[in-house]
Structure 1
Amino acid sequence: MKPTLYTVEKRELAALRDWLEMFLPDSFRLFSSVRETLQERWLGKTFCTLGWPNILAAGEGETGHDSARYPYFSDPRTTSVFSPHPEQLEELLLWPGYLDWSRPIDFQAVSKKLTHVIQKVARERGGSCRVEYYVMYDACQADLPPRPVPEGFKLGTLDPDIHTEYIVSTWPYRRKYTNLYVQDLLRRLPNVGLFDENGACIGVELGNEYGAIGMLYVREAYRRRGLGKIITSQLAQKYFSDELPVTVFVSKGNESSRRMHTSCGFKEIGTVDWITYYTGDEEEFNKNMGYTATFYLQ
């Protein structure tokens, strides 16, 4: 019997999680998204599979239209996909109604083993792909103890009503509607802010909806003091307290960040790609999306 596209119901998410767990770390992005949904740390995501209960491929569906963050995840359409078999991933990508290839698509943290499948479909649809190469690291509690906060600084929890715009301004990958996304991250997931003696925020890091930490930033005047390591180690404790791993994705070209994370105790566990599909001129696409970043392309 030919498999069909199946929308996974909430009561069935544990079965999808267990299937994805068999293929870690290649399936990390989807596995952790399902885990965060099951634990109700992040709501509003839908998941689709090619075949059920015998799963051949899986991907994120659209974010609910009633979600405040819907514009961020729909323009461009944001998803992640996985299959242990490239040919079955291609079948999912081409399934009528799953993805609209006439519009931009942001494929997040896709196993490098599957990038060529997305590139092939993109070419056939007359579009282009920008591929950014990331290294995936994780750390266990024994390797990443909390680093003490030096005198004159204090840790705190970031406020979505106060700190959203500041965080957006510091993130090089911001685009349209990033404020909606960051505000929801701050409301729902662990975060850490580092403040000076006057209460000014001088460093941040956030947990995200697919089970990793990121957006680490320290003000220029406060760098080279080890404050980034302090922020990361302190945020990690919030994940360890929930018996969750601490995972981070770092652009391959960002050597300083890679060195910092390995010196903190992180170990490389895999490589993934962020793949942006678009049609037409890339410069015009970036302008329409509001991208300002210099991308680390492979």
Structure 2
Amino acid sequence: MQAHYRDLVTSHMQCSMAETVTSTTNNCSEAHGVNTDEIPTLLRTLEKWKMECYSTYKLLENCHKTGNVYPHLKIFVDSGDLNQLTSVVAIWYQDFHPAERWYYVFTTDTDKLNILIRKPGVFSMERSAKVRVACEKEAATLVMKDLIITEMGWQPQDIYDFHTYTNTNVELTNKTADRPIPADFKIAPLETKYAEMVRASWEPGQTQGLERFENSIKYQPNLAIYNKEGVPISWVFVKEHGDIGMTYTTPGYQRRGFASILTAKLSKMLLQEGEIPFIKIETDNEISTDMHTKLGFQRYSDLTWFYF
């Protein structure tokens, strides 16, 4: 658990229950759900805050692109008029791992978020499932912490603080992207048959189902370097929530700059498509911070994940 939010959690544990009850009186009506065909309107409203809610924005965008196949979401907002909303809760139900629910939360109005998350069906009280909560902006972090930790009494297994970085430096990106690789190697997207290899590298315990990695290969931009035998030895993805990651180079090929080259090439591709390359790095990961800074990434904002 990072120090900043450990202190944050402790400092708010004495929150008055009377204040909470007062603020949520008469909030038992149903939440406003968003259908897949309404996501474009939702995204147009969120556009002005896109870089403040990038993970939530991209998750919604990818949901719409795949017809709510991957990621499969339930979406709630604080207003029946999507043009007037201030708060969004997107719940990713892990079809490949039914015992997990991931919540993505963004708000510009904490009072309205406080009401929204207490609506029936928005936040489940079940403890049989693993819960991850991604809060964009500290305001959302405080609201979700007060609900889950102070009121419900759940204690987080971990709290991860991330710095987020974006890259618009075309010169630095191209410089690395254009570096040569061995003549008998090639760069190409991954094939689905390598999903197990990706899963083994990403999560050695393999608690997440293979389907997630198959879907990532199928639906998300990715690149790999293949050796002369035609086997991928390094790869990188744009993940479901928009950030570049799942980066890995197999033993025997590490420290040759392959991960940097692929990250730069994927960034170059995104820039050419009018997208802004985005990454999140744990605050104490100096190696990753140094690598991405050399590629042109600059710190933009912060993101907090609670694991329950």
Q: TM-score, normalised by structure 2?
A: 0.79
Is 1:267 aligned to residue 285 of structure 2? no
Which residues in structure 2 correspond to 1:259-298 (within 5 Å)?
A: 259-277=290-308
In structure 1, list runs of 5 or more residues that go unmatched: 64-68, 278-298
**CA deviation vs aligned residue, 1:223-271 (integer Å, no higher than 9, x gap):** 2222111010122233234322211111112110111001011111111
In 2, Cα distance between the equivalents of 1:147 and 1:79? 38
Match of 1:245 among 276, 279, 287: 276
Please tell me the root mean square deviation across aligned C-alpha atoms, in Å: 2.4
Larger radius of gyration: 2
In 2, Cα distance between the equivalents of 1:203 and 1:60? 32
CA contact (8 A) 1:4 1:50 kept: no
Is 1:37 aligned to residue 69 of structure 2? no
CA contact (8 A) 1:190 1:206 kept: yes
Q: CA deviation at 1:109?
A: 5.2
The aligned counterpart of 1:71 is 96
CA distance 1:229–1:153, change in 2 (3 Å): same
**CA deviation vs aligned residue, 1:89-116 (integer Å, no higher than 9, x gap):** 2222222211212233211353333222
The aligned counterpart of 2:153 is 126
In 2, Cα distance between the equivalents of 1:139 and 1:111? 20
Q: CA deviation at 1:154?
A: 1.7
Is 1:140 aligned to residue 168 of structure 2? yes
The aligned counterpart of 2:90 is 60
Q: CA deviation at 1:174?
A: 6.2
CA contact (8 A) 1:212 1:248 kept: yes
Which residues in structure 2 correspond to 1:201-240 (within 5 Å)?
A: 201-240=232-271
In 2, Cα distance between the equivalents of 1:98 and 1:267? 35
In 2, Cα distance between the equivalents of 1:62 and 1:172? 19
CA distance 1:25–1:180, change in 2 (3 Å): same
CA distance 1:220–1:254, change in 2 (3 Å): farther
| Deviates most, 19-28 or 180-189 | 19-28
Match of 2:181 among 147, 150, 155: 150
The aligned counterpart of 1:116 is 142
The aligned counterpart of 1:254 is 285
**CA deviation vs aligned residue, 1:115-165 (integer Å, no higher than 9, x gap):** 22222111211211221011111112624212333224321221112x111
CA contact (8 A) 1:204 1:217 kept: yes
The aligned counterpart of 1:285 is none
The aligned counterpart of 1:170 is 201
In 1, Cα distance between the equivalents of 2:242 and 2:96? 21
CA contact (8 A) 1:23 1:84 kept: no
CA distance 1:172–1:262, change in 2 (3 Å): farther
CA contact (8 A) 1:158 1:191 kept: yes
In 2, Cα distance between the equivalents of 1:120 and 1:237? 41
Which residues in structure 2 correspond to 1:192-207 (within 5 Å)?
A: 192-207=223-238
Is 1:106 aligned to residue 132 of structure 2? yes
In 1, Cα distance between the equivalents of 2:67 and 2:241? 10
Q: CA deviation at 1:12?
A: 2.5
The amino acid that maps onto 2:80 is: W
In 1, Cα distance between the equivalents of 2:204 and 2:240? 16
| Deviates most, 119-128 or 23-32 | 23-32
